[in-house]
Amino acid sequence: MAPHLDEALLDDPDELQGKDSRGTLRALATAGAQVREALHLGREAGIERLADQGRPRSVLVAAIGGSSIVAEVLELLAEPGSPVPVQARRNLPLPGWVGPMDLVVAVSLSGRAPGPLAVAAEAARRGASLLTVGADDSPLAEVTRRARGIHVGTGRGRTSSRTSLWTMLTPVLAGADLLGLLDAPDSVLTAVADRLDERAEELRPTSESFVNPAKLLALQLAETVPVVLGDGPLGGVAAARASSMLARTARMPAPFGELPDAASGIVACFDGPYTHRGGPRPGTYDERRIRLGDIDTSGWEPHHFDEPEGELMERRRSPDGGRDIFADPFLDGPTLPPLGLLMLRDAPADPPTRESVQADALTEAVLTTAQEAGVRVMEVRAGPGAPVVRLADHVAMVDFTATYMALGLGLDPSVSPHVADLRDRTGG
C-alpha cells in the first residue's frame, strides 16, 4: 500500500511552515541569492589568485554527505574539455601522486567534516595548493590559512549542506573557470542565479498543487515505488541528487541510474513485482469462483476448471498497472504500489547531433517499455542554457519535490530522529 500524501496540507502555506521546523523551503528558495553571495565572498577571499598560481597538474575534490554533489558537478562539467584530470575523494588516504604541483579542493559547510578536513591537512603537509569552502571560524579554514591557500567562507544562516548547495558549489566553479578547467564565468553563474530565482517563484509554497510542478511530482511519486533515471551525464548527476534528497529529506528510498549504462538494470525492474508483468501478487487479481453462465467471460484469462461443477477460476488484470478493482484489502491483503520511473531529461540539443539523436531514441525506448509494463512514468525536462544552468533546473525541481513529499507525508524535512540516534551512538 502506498503512503498517503496529504494534498490539502501541501496547499496550506501556514501548515507547511508549521511542519518545516528549520525553514527548508525558505532555504531552498535562497539558492539564487546563494550564488550571488558566494561570488562576492569568493572575490573577498582573493579567489583570483588561483589564476596567478598557474594551471595545476591535477585537481582532487574532497566532499562528503550533502556536499558530495560538488565533486560530482565539477567532474561532470570539467570532463569534456579540462586539460588536467579532475577526480573526487571522500576521505584519506590521499593518493600518493598528490604533491606541490596539484590543487586540492575541500568542501565542508561546517568546516569540520572529518574526511575533507583530513584530506586538506594531508594535502597541506605535502605542499599542494588548497582551495577550501566552509565556515570561516572552522578547522578547515585554519588549515588553509596556515598553508597560505584560499578559503571561501559560507556566510551566515547556512545550517544544512542539503539546502546550501550553491553556497558551496559556486566558488569551486568560479575557481575552476579561472584555471581554464571549464566554462563558468560570472555571466554564466549569474544566469544560474536567475534560473534558480525563476524556479523558486514557480515552486513557491503559496502556489497551489494543480499548477506547482514540484507539488504535482511529489503527489505522483508518493503513490509509487520510485526509480530515478537521468538521460545522460547531466541527468545522471541530477538523478543522484534526487535519490539523495528523496532518501534523506522525504525518507523515500529511490534507486537511481544514468543512461545508457543503467538501461538494462532499470528495465529489468519492469519484470518485477511492482508492475503488471511481474506475475501474481496480493491484490493483483480478483480470484473467485462463479458459474460460467453468470457473466460475460470475454477478456478473462482461464486459470483452470473444476469438474464436474463447471466453475472457472477467473483472473483479470486491471489496466491500471495490475491493480484489481475487486480486491478486498481485508481478505486479499494490501496492494503493492506500482513502480514509478522519474526520467530527468536534458534540454534538446540545438542543433541535434548524431549522439543526441541516438540518446533520445534510447530514452524513448525505455519510456515506451516502461509504459507498456504498467510503470508510472514521470518526466522532467531541463530548460535551455549552459550545462550548469540546465543542471540548476533539475536540482531545484528535485529539491523542492523531496521537501514537499516529506511535508505531505507529515515529516519534518530537516529533522530525522533515527539520524539523530545514529549520531548519538557514534559520536558523529
Q: How many Å is the Cα radius of gyration of the chain?
A: 25
Asked, for residue 352, whether it belongs to a domain, the answer is: no
Residue bearing the bigger pLDDT, 60 or 294: 60
Closest to 373 (Cα-Cα) out of 227, 200, 217: 227
**Average of per-residue pLDDT across 217-240:** 96
Least confident of 128-137, 315-324, 418-427: 315-324
Asked, for residue 175, whether it belongs to a domain, the answer is: yes
**Average of per-residue pLDDT across 285-295:** 38
pLDDT of residue 24 exceeding 70: yes
pLDDT of residue 304 exceeding 90: no
Predicted confidence at residue 283, as pLDDT, reads: 43
Residue bearing the bigger pLDDT, 55 or 428: 55
**Average of per-residue pLDDT across 332-345:** 84
Give residue-wise pLDDT tens across range 149-177: 999 999 888 889 999 999 999 999 999 99
Per-residue pLDDT band at 87 (split at 50, 70, 90):
very high
Predicted confidence at residue 337, as pLDDT, reads: 87
Predicted confidence at residue 317, as pLDDT, reads: 35
Predicted confidence at residue 330, as pLDDT, reads: 55
Asked, for residue 117, whether it belongs to a domain, the answer is: yes
pLDDT above 90 coverage of the chain, percent: 73
Predicted confidence at residue 332, as pLDDT, reads: 55
**Average of per-residue pLDDT across 99-117:** 96
Asked, for residue 405, whether it belongs to a domain, the answer is: yes
Whole-number Å distance between alpha carbons of 130 and 354: 40
pLDDT of residue 314 exceeding 80: no
Per-residue pLDDT band at 129 (split at 50, 70, 90):
very high
CATH number of the domain to which 148 belongs = 3.40.50.10490
How high is the mean pLDDT of the chain?
87
Asked, for residue 330, whether it belongs to a domain, the answer is: no
Residue bearing the bigger pLDDT, 23 or 422: 23
Residue bearing the bigger pLDDT, 169 or 284: 169
Predicted confidence at residue 403, as pLDDT, reads: 98
Q: What burial class does residue 207 get, using C-beta atoms within 10 Å of its C-beta: 0-12 exposed, 13-18 middle, 19+ buried?
A: middle
How many domains does one find in the chain?
1
Give residue-wise pLDDT tens across range 33-50: 999 999 999 999 999 999
Least confident of 74-88, 171-185, 249-263, 276-290: 276-290
Asked, for residue 1, whether it belongs to a domain, the answer is: no
Give residue-wise pLDDT tens across range 395-413: 999 999 999 999 999 999 9
pLDDT of residue 273 exceeding 80: yes
**Average of per-residue pLDDT across 282-292:** 38
Least confident of 179-193, 238-252, 412-426: 412-426
**Average of per-residue pLDDT across 121-131:** 97
pLDDT of residue 7 exceeding 80: yes
Residue bearing the bigger pLDDT, 53 or 309: 53
Domain hosting residue 231, numbered range: 7-264+376-415
Predicted confidence at residue 419, as pLDDT, reads: 79
Asked, for residue 233, whether it belongs to a domain, the answer is: yes
Predicted confidence at residue 325, as pLDDT, reads: 53
Give residue-wise pLDDT tens across range 346-383: 999 999 999 999 999 999 999 999 999 999 999 999 99
pLDDT of residue 305 exceeding 90: no
Asked, for residue 244, whether it belongs to a domain, the answer is: yes
Predicted confidence at residue 210, as pLDDT, reads: 93
